[in-house]
Amino acid sequence: KCRTGPLDIVFVIDSSRSVRPFEFETMRRFMMDIINSLDVGPNATRVGVIQYSSQVQNIFSLKTFFTRADMEKAINSIIPLAQGTMTGLAIQYAMNVAFTTQEGARPLHKKIPRIAIIVTDGRPQDRVTEVATQARNAGIEIYAVGIQRADMNSLRAMASPPLEEHVFLVESFELIQQFGKQFQDKLCGADMCVEQEHGCQHTCVSTPGSFYCECNPGYRLNMDGKTCSPIDACADGRHGCQHQCVSARGSYSCRCRTGYYLSQDKRSCTMIDYCSFGNHSCQHECVSIPNGHYCRCRSGFTLQPDGRSCGATDLCNGVDHGCEFKCVSMEGSYRCVCPEGQQLQADGKACSKCGAGHVDLVMVIDGSKSVRPQNFELVKQFVNRIVDLLEVSPHGTRVGLGPYSSRVRTEFPLNKYHSTDEIKKAVMEVEYMEKGTMTGLALKHMVEHSFSELEGARPLSHNVPRIGLIFTDGRSQDDISEWARRAKESGIVMFAVGVGKAVEEELRAIASEPVEQHFSYSADFTTMTHLIENFKLNICPEEGKGETEIRSPCECEALVQFQTNTVAILQSLTEKNILWAHSLAQMTARLEDLEKQIANKK
């Protein structure tokens, strides 16, 4: 057998009407004799067969069969076409179809010879010279075998050079089998892998007159054409491993990180559920993590030092409860409550806003040098806490703001913004002013400008309360008495809020009556949030009952309030009785006068 190396051989068999049936049988035996001499297989010699007459028919391609038995069965089942002799068409098909990689031909760079064996008994009925030249230029080595009536010139036009080694003329079909034995010697030459030092690291593959090197599976041939390197199957990034790809001899496997196991798809990883082992001893909940687990307690409980058991906690002290007024702890939970007369809102945290009445509120805040930038930010947060108490709208509460130092500016008037969010955003963008503390000038600006209808204050005839709030941290550098008086005389309800070095005497002079309800003081900027509640209680009317803080009717404050209310009611009734008695006396006197007048007339 011929074992000099793999070949890609395609038999191109003439089955025109001039080939009689018994003659075609000798062509079948000719093909099988040659195939039996070859070492056939996917990595050895591959064989294909096409027949032609006026058309071309593919019997089997280079990739169809890899055993002699399958090939022989297919060859024996050929039914001759018995038409014309279109040899050029057959060569065109061999070049464009039969010898393509799609049909099983090995790539040209592997240097595996591509051999076409054309067997014909007559003159071609189409042109063969040009198409044969194209086929040879495409790397196909053509052997032309003519029988009986074959045209020698056509054979020579088809065959590859040298012609004496590629053109054969057999006198009769009976002699073709004997010729086949001679033809085998043409295909089989010396084994170049044996005859010379090939230098291949893995495998040497012999070809007619030459050889090439191949690598074992899992390796690739290096640029020198002889040595081999392992293929890193993970390097192209197409492995699909979720965690790690491990390369091994041209293949790969997926591996998971510690704490995970490989899923059934052999690519994705699943975390090990350590809690499912049943030995965690957690009192409430077990939570699995890579490399282990930890215990977790339900809401309202804290994990004890042993890391397993849980204890109830005072959630009001342990969490950011967000209650606006007061947080009340319960077992495993908490609830928010509001001051008496205020209703808990739908969020369960905030208390009712000033929804029953609307006001025009102007706040004038001290931005002098003594306040300092970080404290000025706290002042802006204080202002926004007040804004949160209000229901801001064009027809509801309106808010204006003006910072002051040695001068006063209107940051935004009463008619500028119509929603809480707009106002709060504008407040946080107010810039620190520095310099002096001209509180008197700020009061003047409030009276003359801030509460003007031009800047959005509603006319006095609408009876919308006007509320002014002065925020300061020190003694005024100008006189405040005149403009504090004018502000109150013009109908503005004045609130004075002082922090740090603010002077109580000045605060009281600014505040409306009763003074105790209209001025507030905090020693430090960080502790002034309690002033907000005082301000709210004084500007917000009482609203309906809700979730409220319960007060004992026996508390001193409640008794004093009850006594005051009772005295006021009794005094009102007494005054009404006195007026009624006086009216009765006047009517009696008039009746007496009328009686005297009537008597005198008689």
Q: How confident is the model at residue 546 (pLDDT cuts 50, 70, 90)?
A: very low
Class of domain 192-230: mainly beta
Q: What is the pLDDT of residue 543?
A: 38
Is the pLDDT score of 66 beyond 90? yes
User: Residue 382's pLDDT is what?
Assistant: 86
Every domain of the chain and the residues it spans: 7-187, 192-230, 314-353, 360-536
Average pLDDT over residues 484-495: 91
pLDDT at 549 over 50: no
Phi–psi pair at 413, nearest 5 degrees? -80, 180
Most confident of 71-85, 178-192, 448-462: 71-85
Asked if residues 329 and 342 have their Cβ atoms less than 8 Å apart, the reply is: no
Is 360-536 assigned to CATH 3.40.50.410?
A: yes
Q: Are 336 and 549 in contact (CB under 8 A)?
A: no
The pLDDT, as a whole number, for residue 575 is 56
Q: In this predicted model, what pLDDT tens digit does every residue of 267-288 receive, in sequence order?
A: 999 998 889 888 888 988 999 8
Residue 251's H or E segment, with its range, is strand 251-255
How much is the pLDDT for 550?
A: 37
Kindly report the average pLDDT of the chain as a whole number.
83
For the stretch 314-366, pLDDT in tens is 777 767 788 887 888 776 678 888 765 566 777 888 776 655 468 899 999 98
Q: Are 367 and 403 in contact (CB under 8 A)?
A: yes
pLDDT (0 to 100) of residue 414: 93
482-491, 497-506, 566-575: range with lowest mean pLDDT: 566-575
pLDDT, one tens digit per residue, over 370-401 is 888 888 888 888 888 888 888 888 888 899 99
Mean pLDDT computed over 7-12: 94
Please give the pLDDT value at position 222. 93
SS (H, E, C) 577-597: HHHHHHHHHHHHHHHHHHHHH
What pTM does this model have? 0.38
| pLDDT at residue 126 in the model | 94
Q: Which of 482, 448, 456, 451 is nearest to 468 (CA)?
A: 451
- Which DSSP helix (H) or strand (E) runs through 521? strand 519-522
The pLDDT value given to residue 533: 64
Pairing of strands 251-255, 244-248: antiparallel
Q: What is the pLDDT of residue 154?
A: 93
Q: Distance (Å, rounded) from C-alpha 375 to C-alpha 589? A: 73
Q: What is the mean pLDDT of residues 28-41?
A: 87
Question: How confident is the model at residue 59, as a pLDDT?
Answer: 97
Architecture of the CATH domain 7-187:
3-Layer(aba) Sandwich (3.40)
Q: pLDDT tens-digit profile of 190-221? A: 667 877 788 999 998 877 667 889 998 888 89
DSSP class per residue in 75-141: HHT-----S---HHHHHHHIIIIITSGGGTPPPGGGT--EEEEEEESS--SS--HHHHHHHHHTTEE
Q: Write down the CATH superfamily of domain 314-353.
A: Laminin (2.10.25.10)
Note the residue count of the chain: 602
- State pLDDT tens for residues 120-171: 988 899 999 999 999 999 999 999 988 878 889 999 999 999 898 888 887 7
CA-CA distance, 184 to 186, in Å (whole number)? Answer: 5
Query: Which residues, including other chains, have CB under 8 Å from residue 410's CB and lie 6 or more apart?
Result: 400, 401, 402, 445, 449, 450, 455
Query: Who has greater pLDDT, 299 or 244?
Result: 244
186 — pLDDT class (breaks 50, 70, 90): low
Average pLDDT of 483-506?
A: 90
**Same fold? 192-230, 360-536:** no
Identify the pLDDT of residue 195. 73
Cα 14 to Cα 29, 50, 55, 150, 334: the distances in Å are: 14, 9, 10, 11, 99
Cα distances (Å, whole numbers) of residue 213 to 38, 110, 216, 231, 436:
20, 9, 10, 16, 94
CA angle 436, 442, 448 (to 5 degrees): 150
pLDDT surpassing 60 at residue 36? yes
- β-pairing, 301-303 vs 292-296, is unpaired
